[in-house]
Copies of this chain bind each other. A is one copy, B any other.
Amino acid sequence: MTVYGGIETGGTKWELAVGTAPDDVRATATVPTTTPAETIGRALGFFEREGPVAAVGIGSFGPLDSKLGSPTWGHITTTPKPGWSNTDVGPEFRRRLSVPVAFDTDVNAAALGEHRWGAAQGLDTFCYVTVGTGIGGGAMVGGRLLHGLMHPEFGHMRIPHDLAADPFPGACPYHGDCWEGLASGNALAARWGAPASELADDAVWALEARYLALGLVSVISVLSPERIVIGGGVMRRPGLLPLVRQEVVALVNGYLDVPAVGAEIATYITLPALNSRAGVLGAIALAQTA
């Protein structure tokens, strides 16, 4: 039976898998994100040992070039991550493994995974948001992953920031207090001086829920998704998601007269069904399109 390779490249680690579906994962591995040469080399070693695979899907942090036919297709481009800007990733796997490679954002891959096997099955238009080290978003519209000019970069929109109440200037090297700069795991750690997992004060999480909701209201206003699937390490905080839902409903304030942004908010904004495997399983789904 044909098997596929999936890679989720993250800022701190790469998740690798060989298989065909969530219940048919033949092998997995995690490698730390160090230099491009070392990290890519370890991933190639994994697929050489566990393969052969028919194709590889890569869901990557970005920004990146996923435009087929572009001279820099398959490259991570302007990422603020040190050492990783303008890195050839997709073409390298294609050359070294001699198989087709599909290359997209980690969040578009996760969206595809959730559409195929998770919380977004059967939907036409929805988005996947991750709140981890950074904030990212991917989307499917009309049953296709959204690309457009490049790909969505949800994390870099601006949201209201009351400097009197929250003097933290923001953690984004490009934009300071964009959505990611205010509400990502990195932002939480920089603002409060401890990792998100160690923050217990209710005020911390009330502010976080407010910022997350402000961004989601922009997503709803622009994209009109049928569902928002929201994952990432920060969302594992108990009680955070219900607070986010409350804030979204309060911010929309009845303007959108649909149950999704009212009585049905708990199914409208939901965790990924594939949990933390959405990205790497989505990458396997991506490979199947290569």
Contacts and interface: CB of A to CB of B under 8 A. Distances in A.
Interface string A206-240: 00000000100111111111100000000000000
Interface stretch (A7-15, A136-144, A186-194, A274-282): A136-144
A150 B125 CA distance: 11
A63 interface: yes
Interface residues of A, number: 49
Contacts of A243: none
Interface stretch (A16-24, A196-204, A249-257): A249-257
A174 B253 contact: yes
Contacts of A144: 141-142
Interface string A53-97: 000000000010000000000000110000000000000000000
B222 A254 contact: no
A149 interface: yes
Interface string A122-145: 001110000000000101011010
Given A158-B160, A159-B158, A153 B256 contact: yes
A174 B258 contact: no
A151 B224 contact: yes
A154 interface: yes
A222 B222 contact: yes
Contact of A255 (B147, B153, B158, B254): B153
Contact of A152 (B77, B126, B149, B224): B224
A147 B142 CA distance: 9
A174 B221 CA distance: 14
A221 B155 contact: yes
In the A-B complex, the 5 residue pairs with the closest CB atoms = A148-B224, A125-B148, A157-B221, A157-B218, A222-B222
Interface of A: 63, 77-78, 124-126, 137, 139, 141-142, 144, 146-161, 174-175, 214, 217-226, 251-258, 260
